[in-house]
């Protein structure tokens, strides 16, 4: 099973995505947090294979956290999950070590496909970002 953690401050989005992924037998949810600080606490006992990370978070931003997570958990892939489709944060996220970039409007089935792709060595990106 692919161990997934999600850091997303919007509780409804976080709950909906994790509930969908729990139904897929390829995934197990190891942590679900509303901030980087909560996520770091959860990672003390459950290090995921993939972290789904929002950019705009209370406290430390997702962009600032990428390098921190890459240093502390080098085997964890990070996929950004955000409303931002501006080139600057996308470029910063990828240069900081994110392995993928998905827009929050991505259908759940495509999120699952993208996480599987990432786990198998790919670099998933929402089509509007890739263009």
**What pLDDT was estimated at residue 126?**
76
Report which of 61, 72, 66, 2 is spatially closest to residue 35, judged by C-alpha positions.
Answer: 61
For the sheet with 27-33, list strands across it.
27-33, 2-7, 50-53, 77-82, 100-103
Tokens of 97: 């070590």
98 alpha-carbon distance from chain centroid = 9
pLDDT in tens, the chain (131 residues): 999 999 999 999 999 999 999 999 999 999 999 999 999 998 888 899 999 999 989 999 999 999 999 999 999 999 999 887 777 888 899 899 999 999 999 999 999 999 999 999 998 887 777 66
């Amino acid at each position: 099973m692919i161990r997934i953690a999600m850091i997303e401050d919007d509780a409804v989005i976080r709950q909906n995505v994790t509930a969908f992924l729990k139904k897929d037998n390829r995934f197990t949810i190891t942590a679900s947090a509303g901030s980087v600080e909560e996520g770091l606490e959860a990672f003390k006992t459950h290090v995921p294979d993939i972290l789904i990370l929002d950019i705009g978070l209370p406290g430390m931003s997702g962009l600032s956290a990428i390098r921190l997570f890459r240093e502390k958990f080098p085997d964890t892939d990070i996929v950004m999950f955000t409303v931002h489709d501006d080139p600057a944060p996308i470029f910063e996220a990828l240069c900081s070590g994110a392995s993928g970039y998905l827009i929050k409007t991505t259908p759940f089935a495509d999120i699952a496909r993208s996480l599987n792709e990432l786990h198998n060595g790919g670099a998933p990106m929402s089509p509007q970002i890739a263009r």
